[in-house]
Structures are given as C-alpha cells and as structure tokens.
C-alpha cells in the first residue's frame, strides 16, 4: 500500500529521560486498583460493589492475556527493548507478578467483606461451608440432571493423553485412592463453558453456589468406589493476542484460523485455590509445561470475574436507582425527523444521559427514506444484538448503496465481527475490511440524501462504538452534522479506508495515521507561542489513556513554557505531573464511577481565558497512545457550532474538571488519592443524569429556559 511519509514521524524529538515517565503496565495496574476501590466504596449499593469487583477481575484477565503475555513473549525471544521508564520486559514481568499477587489478595479480602454484607441482606455467595440437608439434596438432584451428563472425568496417567484446557478454562483435579487395591489416582474434570458459573438455589433467600463447588460436593457420584484424598480447582489464562501478518492474503480466513489458535495460546497464568494438593499441582505444572507461567494461589474464589451473574439478582434495593436516558427535544420538535433537526444546526448527543436510540433512528430513517441513496458506516464493536446492523441490512434490501467497514481486528470481537460481515454481505452490503496492518477505529456514519437543491450529506462522528449495551454505561459523544466541509472530509476518510486514496486537502477533519498527530502538535505549539507572548494559554483534555512518549514530550514543552494543562485520564497515564522544571503546570485526574468515562476531548485556549467560545475544541476517537496516532485510522473532529461548542467545553469537559466525588488525583510519585472533603462536593454523573444538555434542548433553549451553567472553581484546574 503506497502511502506518503506519515506526518509527525520525522523530526519528532522525544524526551528520553526514563525518570520522566511512569511505567505503562504498572500504571494500568493502579487503574485496576481504583476500579477495585469502588467495590469497597460504602456509598454504593452492595450489588453494585460486587459488580466493580467482577469488573476488576475481567480487567485483570484481559491484561494478563494481552499485556503480560506480550511481555512474556519478548522475554522468550530475548528482546531487551526498554519501556519509557527504562525497564526491560523481564523487569516489567517481575513487577507485574508482584502486583498481581497483591491485587488478588485485595480482591479476595473484598469478596469476603461483600459476602458477609450481602448475606445480611439475603444474598448468599456460598463457599466451602456446609449447606443444610434440603439445599444439599437439591444440589445433588441438579448435579445429576444438569451437570453429570456433560462432564467427563479423565484419568491422568501414561495411558491417557493429558486433556486440553482451553483459555479461561476451569477444572478440578482430584486425588483419589481406589478402594479395591489402594492405588492412588489423579482424575481431572474440566467444566464445559456452556455450564453456568454460579447456580441459584430455589427460594426467596438468594443462595448462589459456584459450579466447581457443586461438582466437588458430588464427587462421590462421579467416582464411586474411591476415597477422596484431596481436590483443587484451577483456572488457566493463555496468550490471546492475535498478530496479523503483513502478507495475509485473505483476512477472513486468517482470523477464523487465528481465533481457533487463541484457544491454544501459551499459558500465561495458572490460578489455583489454596487447598490444591502439592503433588497434584506438580503434576499439572509438568504436564502443561508451566515453568515460566505466573502461578496465583487464591484463598477464596478463582475467576472472580464470574461474579457478574450474581449482580443480575432481582434486588433493586441493592443496586443503583434505575436511570432512563433522555431523548433530545431538538429531534422531537421535528417530529422525530433526524435529518430536519441536523439540517437546522449541528447537534451532539451525550451518552448515556441521552439515548443511543438517536443513532439507531438516524440509520433506520436513512434505511426507510426513499430519498436516501447511500449509507457508509464504520463498525468496530457492534454487540451481539445490533439494531445498527439491522438498519444497514434493511437499507441494502431496500436497494440503497450501503458500504460497511468492518474491523476484523477488534480484540475479542473478531468472531462476532466475522458473523456480522457475513450477514451484511448476504444482504447486499458492500463489506470492506480496511487495512491489513492498521485498525479502523474511527466511528463515522455517512448518509447521502437527494434533496431539493441536490445531494446533501449527513454525518455522525462518535467517540464510542456503535454498541447498544456499552452506550448505556459508557460516557461518549455522538456528533451529528451536515456541515459541507466536514461531510466532504468524511467522504475522503471512507475513500482512504476502502480504496487507499490518501485524504489530501481535508477542510477540518484530522485523520490518523496521516495528520492527527501533527495537528495536535500544531495546536500545542500555538499554545506555547501564546504563553511566550503573554497571552492566556491553556490545554484541557479528556482521554482514556496517555502513553505516547512524543506527545507527552510536547506537553512537557508546553508546561515549561507556562501553558496551564489540565488532563482527565481515566486509565493509563505515563506522564508525570507536577514535577518542578518539567511539568509543574500539568495536573492529572482520573474519574471512576457509575459510568465508564470513554469520550475523548481536546480544548485549546487560543489566546483567551478558559473556558471561552473562542477556544478550539475537538472530539476524537483516538487516545494519546502510539497505536492511535500511528497505527490506527482515527478522527479528530473540530467543533464549530456555538451551542455544541459550549456543551462540549463548558458542560462536559468542565464538569469533568469540577468533579470531586469520583475523582482521583495523580501525584508526581505515581500514587493516586481521592479528592478530599470540599465545601460543595460535585458529582458529574449525577449532574448529567439530572440536567439537560445544551444542544439537545431545541426551542426551549431559544426561549430562555434555564440550562444549569457550570463555573470554573478555584483549584479545579
């Protein structure tokens, strides 16, 4: 694929002092500690605290399967490339090993506390304790009917090949003695993935028992004629990253094969319950070749992510109060006509406070409208039940030209995306898989409509995926516009992805890996120049991660020049704030709460005190990571409409800076601490749940109806 030299790659110096950066992997682990801290947050209902505990477990699983596995592969290949903070892969893996053990201990202690508190509220998570006779009888019947037919005990000896244990597979290893001849045997029972992780006993009192506990309690039914000498539960995590070969000729076939290979990746971590028989453990390690795998001995529950099913227990008193997203008045005032509302002026939807149904209705209307001639859509993650996919299929079946850019490389969604691609193709949608070596991560939808004065294009630019489930829990922005300049840029973006036609002469949109990095550099440099000239200079940004050394170096340069920089970085942050002579003008905070902060926003003062309508404001699909800036197709979208500009800068971004109840402050030593007590605490999630947005108000805004305005508080930035 012949492409010109990507902007921002050459002549791009970086601060190479390792003391000026935090380690990426350890920063991620501290993020997961903040997630886990919410499981101990006494202001939250108990089942919501259990949900955060489960999330910390699933986060850890993915980290081990991708990040730790990648480092282990580097160690195996004797790769010594150092991280920004100067650590070798082996050093990082050693640090991870120590941190993972500490985090696991905290998870198990948290679970013990939550079990006690939930039991007092009638929700019991049973461990190894004895159950009453009635419960035991019910479990024995359940085992005989639902479990025994689908499990297969397998002897572990030279005559039987060692069974394959799939990624994230859970099994039990029994140490038995045959009564007939006093012979010791090892038997393995692998738990099929189709079985539930926990089973609820009948009755008003909610008693949940893990599947491994049910099997262990009924081992006498599996092994009659044997004496039980010991048993233990284990769980395995394997390397799950998929590396795409540059010469892959058929991406669909390649990923179908790669998904199967993932199940058999190298074992990266073995979880064992603390009662595991030492001889059985040694056998397991020898058979699986686990010399260099991390072994996690757990005093409690292995696979803590599995607790998420218990959160579904019908106990509204133990959960957050239900919240229903608003539908924007602007669109309702046009009788639900999305195109009419967008023609009037740009509109931005703030999820999850405003409904994702707007995005779906935009596509549904396009599918049904006889004047719509073409739809183009990027798809990164769409979920298992997708109204977006249904609308695209309906549009194709109605005879419209529909193009879908389906990203096969979306991690852990590869299989689902293959299924969607197949369904879309059968319906007549032109499916494009984009670049072999770059992920198409941009969130763009484009509709071309025949109108009185010719063709008009309508666009949606998003910071999040076209995914109905995550849209209910992730905070994201959906920007709808008919601005001819941005719409022409969207055409160039799609031509770039579908036909490798380089997007020359864009009129506002910045696209990675072409010019998004260099655009950010120019905006930062402009703030540096303003600071040197004595004009107001500031940068506000909201990101999920900031790890790119060259971008961080530019922010350090800005701080040294006197630019006031306020960053809201939810997860990984390699930038060290508040260091004299380096970053004393930079503050970093992280927000963890009911909703997952996911939107990406940049704002530049542009010579005026922040916040002001003269600031330059952008929303983006990209984080501050090298992969987003150099190895993915991403967008940086300028916000020019005054109302939308005010909403993004003076509502969304300012509320993030003002939040005190869910915020953690990053210190120069890498530690995070909650914001202390303040006279007027502020919770941005509660604010947006109870207050309307600016651009969604429609006529009510023009008539002077109040939309609560936020004021920058001293010390917030």
Q: Quick one: tokens of 182?
A: 């006093």
pLDDT(256) > 60:
no
Residues 189, 215 contacting (CB under 8 angstroms)? yes
Q: Check residue 94 and give its pLDDT.
A: 95
Q: What confidence tier does 162 reach under pLDDT thresholds 50, 70, 90? A: confident
pLDDT(703) > 90:
no
- What would the pLDDT profile of 591-624 be if each residue is shown by its tens digit? 999 999 999 999 999 999 999 999 999 999 999 9
**Inter-helix orientation angle 387-397/357-368, to 10°:** 10
- The Cα–Cα gap between 229 and 337 comes to 70
Average pLDDT for 503-511: 96
Alpha-carbon distances, residue 384 vs 74, 223, 470 (angstroms): 34, 40, 12
Q: Check residue 466 and give its pLDDT.
A: 85
Alpha-carbon distances, residue 588 vs 80, 520, 522, 549, 573 (angstroms): 31, 19, 22, 16, 9
CATH 3.30.870.10 correct for 510-702: yes
Q: Check residue 687 and give its pLDDT.
A: 95
Domain boundaries, the chain: 18-318, 329-499, 510-702
Q: Check residue 293 and give its pLDDT.
A: 85
What φ, ψ does residue 454 adopt, rounded to 5°?
115, -165
- Three-state SS sequence of 331-353: HHCCCCCHHHHHHHCCEEEEECC
Q: Check residue 410 and give its pLDDT.
A: 65
pLDDT(7) > 60:
no
Average pLDDT for 492-496: 97
What φ, ψ does residue 37 adopt, rounded to 5°?
-60, -30
Least confident among 257-271, 425-439, 685-699? 257-271
Is the overall model pTM greater than 0.75, yes or no? Answer: yes
Average pLDDT for 674-681: 89
Domains 329-499 and 510-702 agree in fold: yes
Nearest to 175 by CA among 147, 156, 196: 156
Nearest to 439 by CA among 404, 462, 405: 405
Supply the DSSP symbol for 103. Answer: H
Higher pLDDT, 513 or 160: 513
Average pLDDT for 452-478: 93
Average pLDDT for 249-255: 55
Average pLDDT for 685-706: 71
Tell me the percentage of the chain whose pLDDT exceeds 70: 92
- Residue 510: CB atoms within 10 A of its CB come to 25
Q: Check residue 8 and give its pLDDT.
A: 45
pLDDT(374) > 90:
yes
- The Cα–Cα gap between 33 and 634 comes to 29
SS3 259: helix
Average per-residue pLDDT in the chain?
91
Least confident among 256-260, 591-595, 662-666? 256-260
Catalytic residue among 20, 350, 441, 598: 441
pLDDT(707) > 60:
no
Q: Check residue 130 and give its pLDDT.
A: 85
pLDDT(590) > 70:
yes
Q: Check residue 560 and give its pLDDT.
A: 98
Q: Quick one: tokens of 634?
A: 């991403």
- What would the pLDDT profile of 520-578 be if each residue is shown by its tens digit? 999 999 999 999 999 999 999 999 999 999 999 999 999 999 999 999 999 999 999 99
Q: Please, which residues have CB within 8 angstroms of residue 644's CB and are 6 or more apart in sequence?
A: 346, 347, 348, 479, 694, 695
- The Cα–Cα gap between 160 and 187 comes to 11
What φ, ψ does residue 648 adopt, rounded to 5°?
-70, -45
DSSP assignment of 531-586 equals HHTTS--EEEEEES-B--HHHHHHHHHHHHTT-EEEEEESS-B-B--S-TTTTTTE
Residues 402, 392 contacting (CB under 8 angstroms)? yes
Q: What confidence tier does 258 reach under pLDDT thresholds 50, 70, 90? A: low
pLDDT(696) > 80:
no
- Residue 508: CB atoms within 10 A of its CB come to 15
Q: Check residue 262 and give its pLDDT.
A: 59
> What architecture (CATH level 2) is domain 329-499?
2-Layer Sandwich (3.30)
Q: Check residue 705 and give its pLDDT.
A: 47
Nearest to 121 by CA among 207, 197, 38, 199: 207
Alpha-carbon distances, residue 160 vs 96, 149, 163, 531 (angstroms): 36, 21, 8, 73
- The Cα–Cα gap between 214 and 405 comes to 46
Strands lying side by side in the sheet with 153-155: 153-155, 184-190, 170-178, 226-238, 267-273, 294-298
Residues 388, 382 contacting (CB under 8 angstroms)? yes
- What would the pLDDT profile of 264-300 be if each residue is shown by its tens digit? 688 899 999 988 888 888 888 888 877 778 999 999 9
pLDDT(5) > 60:
no
Q: Please, which residues have CB within 8 angstroms of residue 167's CB and are 6 or more apart in sequence?
A: 65, 236, 237, 238, 240, 262, 263, 264, 265
Per the listing, tokens 């072409």 go with 514
Q: What confidence tier does 4 reach under pLDDT thresholds 50, 70, 90? A: very low
Tell me the percentage of the chain whose pLDDT exceeds 90: 76
Higher pLDDT, 528 or 255: 528
Per the listing, tokens 């998904």 go with 259
pLDDT(376) > 50:
yes
Least confident among 51-55, 140-144, 327-331? 327-331
Q: Quick one: tokens of 380?
A: 């990164």
Question: In the annotation, is 146 catalytic?
Answer: no
Greatest pairwise CA separation for the chain in angstroms: 92
> What architecture (CATH level 2) is domain 18-318?
2-Layer Sandwich (3.30)
Higher pLDDT, 12 or 547: 547
- What would the pLDDT profile of 166-189 be if each residue is shown by its tens digit? 899 999 999 999 999 999 999 999
What φ, ψ does residue 260 adopt, rounded to 5°?
-70, -40
């Amino acid at each position: 694929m012949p492409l010109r030299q990507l902007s921002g790659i050459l002549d791009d110096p970086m601060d190479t002092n390792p003391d000026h950066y935090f380690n990426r992997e350890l920063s991620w682990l501290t993020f997961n500690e903040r997630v886990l801290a919410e499981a101990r947050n006494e202001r939250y209902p108990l089942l919501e605290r259990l949900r955060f505990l489960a999330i910390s477990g699933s986060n850890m699983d993915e980290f081990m399967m991708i990040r730790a596995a990648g480092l282990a592969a580097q160690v195996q290949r004797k790769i010594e490339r150092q991280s920004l903070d100067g650590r070798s892969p082996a050093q990082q893996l050693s640090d991870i090993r120590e941190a993972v053990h500490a985090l696991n201990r905290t998870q198990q202690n948290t679970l013990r506390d939550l079990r006690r508190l939930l039991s007092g509220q009638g929700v019991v998570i049973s461990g190894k304790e004895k159950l009453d006779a009635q419960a035991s009888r019910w479990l024995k019947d359940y085992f005989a009917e639902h479990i025994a037919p689908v499990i297969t005990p397998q002897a572990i000896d030279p005559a039987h090949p060692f069974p394959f244990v799939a990624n994230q597979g859970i099994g039990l290893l029994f140490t038995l003695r045959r009564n007939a001849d006093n012979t010791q045997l090892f038997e393995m029972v692998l738990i099929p993935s189709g079985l539930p992780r926990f089973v609820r006993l009948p009755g008003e009192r909610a008693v949940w028992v893990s599947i491994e506990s049910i099997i262990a309690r009924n081992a006498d039914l599996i092994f009659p004629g044997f004496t039980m000498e010991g048993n233990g539960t284990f769980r395995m995590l394997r390397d799950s990253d998929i590396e795409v070969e540059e010469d892959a000729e058929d991406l669909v076939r390649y990923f179908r094969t790669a998904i199967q290979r993932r199940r058999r990746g190298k074992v990266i971590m073995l979880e064992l319950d603390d009662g595991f028989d030492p001889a059985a453990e040694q056998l397991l390690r020898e058979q699986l070749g686990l010399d260099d795998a991390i072994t996690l001995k757990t005093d409690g529950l292995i696979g803590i992510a599995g607790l998420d099913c218990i959160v579904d227990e019908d106990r509204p008193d133990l959960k957050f109060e239900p919240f229903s997203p608003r539908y924007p008045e602007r669109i309702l005032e046009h009788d639900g006509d999305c195109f009419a509302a967008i023609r009037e002026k740009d509109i931005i939807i703030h999820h999850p406070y405003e409904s994702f149904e707007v995005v779906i209705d935009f596509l549904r209307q396009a599918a049904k409208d006889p004047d719509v001639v073409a739809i183009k859509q990027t798809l990164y993650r769409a979920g298992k039940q997708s109204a977006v996919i249904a609308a695209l299929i309906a549009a194709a079946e109605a005879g419209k030209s529909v193009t879908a850019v389906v990203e096969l490389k979306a991690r852990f969604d590869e299989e689902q995306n293959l299924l969607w691609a197949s369904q879309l193709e059968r319906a007549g949608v032109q499916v494009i898989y984009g670049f072999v070596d770059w992920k198409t991560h941009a969130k763009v939808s484009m509709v071309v409509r025949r109108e009185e004065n010719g063709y008009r294009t309508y666009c949606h630019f998003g910071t999040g995926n076209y995914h109905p489930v995550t849209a209910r829990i992730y905070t994201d922005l959906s920007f709808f516009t008919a601005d001819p300049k941005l719409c022409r840029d969207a055409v160039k973006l799609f031509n770039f992805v579908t036909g490798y036609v380089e997007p020359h002469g864009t009129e506002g949109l910045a696209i990675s890996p072409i010019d998004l990095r260099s655009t950010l550099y120019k905006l930062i440099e402009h703030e540096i120049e303003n600071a040197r000239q004595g004009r107001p200079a500031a940068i506000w940004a909201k990101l999920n991660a900031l790890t790119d050394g060259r971008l961080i170096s530019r922010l350090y340069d800005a701080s040294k020049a006197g630019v006031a920089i306020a960053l809201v970085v939810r997860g990984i942050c390699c930038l060290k704030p508040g260091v004299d002579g380096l970053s004393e003008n930079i503050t970093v905070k992280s927000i963890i709460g009911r909703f997952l902060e996911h939107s990406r926003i940049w704002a530049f003062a542009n010579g005026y005190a922040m916040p002001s309508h003269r600031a330059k404001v952008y929303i983006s699909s990209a984080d501050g990571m090298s992969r987003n800036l150099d190895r993915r197709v991403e967008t940086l979208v300028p916000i020019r409409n005054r109302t939308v500009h005010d909403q993004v800068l003076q509502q969304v971004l300012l509320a993030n800076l003002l939040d005190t109840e869910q915020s953690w402050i990053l210190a120069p030593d890498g530690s995070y601490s909650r914001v202390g007590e303040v006279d007027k605490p502020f919770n941005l999630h509660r604010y947006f749940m109870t207050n309307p947005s600016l651009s969604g108000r429609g006529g009510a805004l023009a008539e002077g109806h109040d939309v609560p305005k936020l004021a920058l508080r001293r010390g917030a930035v």
